[in-house]
Amino acid sequence: QLKPDDLTKLGKLSLLTKDNTLVPANRLYLSAAYEPSLSIDNYFPTMPHLFVSTSYMQNDCRIRWKHFFVLLGVQENINLIPLNDNNRLFQYYHEDQMKIIFGLNSNQVHRYKYRLTITFLELTENNFDFARFFWQYVIQNINVRDLTRSEIAYWGQHNKRGAIFGSE
C-alpha cells in the first residue's frame, strides 16, 4: 500500500498541462476546474503550461484527482517552500550572501538550512495584477516569523565546525 510520502517522491513525475505539454508535478498549480484552495488561473491566461490539464477528470472524480495531485506536489495555494538551488532567485540570493559573509566564497558553502521562498514569487515580477493579489494574500496568510528566521550556512572543510554546525 502506498504511503503519502511515497507519492511526494513522485513530484518529478510529468503531468499534462492545459497546453498539452508535460511538466513535473511539483512545478504545477491546480487549474480552476479542480477547485484549488486559491484559484489563480485568471491571472495567467497566456501561461497554460503552469496548470494541470482537466483531461484527467472523468465522471465525478474531480476531488480524488485533486487530492492525488496535491499529494504529488502540485500546488493549490501560495506557501513557503525551501529555496531550490537551481532557482534564479536563489542564484541572486547566494551571490548577495557571499558578499556579506567575510572571507567566504560560493565554493565553500555546502548547504543551507531555513532558506525559504514563497511559491510563485517569481511570477509577481511582470504581472502587476497578480503581484497585488499575491502580496495581499501573503500579508494576510503567511506568518512573518517564518520569513524572518535566520538561515544557517554550512561551510568550510568537511568535519570542521563550520561544516557541522554552520553559521549558527
Query: Based on the domain organization, do 59 and 93 belong to the same domain?
Result: no
Whole-number Cα distances in Å, 101 to 62, 83, 142, 152:
50, 19, 28, 12
> What is the rounded distance in angstroms from the CA atom of residue 104 to the CA atom of residue 163?
13
Rounded mean pLDDT, 20-28: 93
- Given the C-alpha cell 495531485, which residue does it identify? 69
**What pLDDT is stored for residue 35 in this prediction?**
94
Number of structural domains, the chain? 2
Query: Based on the domain organization, do 102 and 150 belong to the same domain?
Result: yes
Domain boundary among 72, 92, 112: 72
Rounded mean pLDDT, 27-41: 94
Query: Based on the domain organization, do 21 and 51 belong to the same domain?
Result: yes
Query: Based on the domain organization, do 68 and 117 belong to the same domain?
Result: no
Query: Based on the domain organization, do 85 and 155 belong to the same domain?
Result: yes
Through-space distance between the first and last CA atoms of the chain, rounded to whole angstroms: 41
Residue 30 lies in domain: 4-72
Digit-coded pLDDT (tens) for 42-67: 999 999 999 999 999 877 788 889 99
Global confidence as pTM: 0.71
Query: Based on the domain organization, do 15 and 53 belong to the same domain?
Result: yes
Query: Based on the domain organization, do 55 and 85 belong to the same domain?
Result: no
C-alpha cell at 163: 561544516
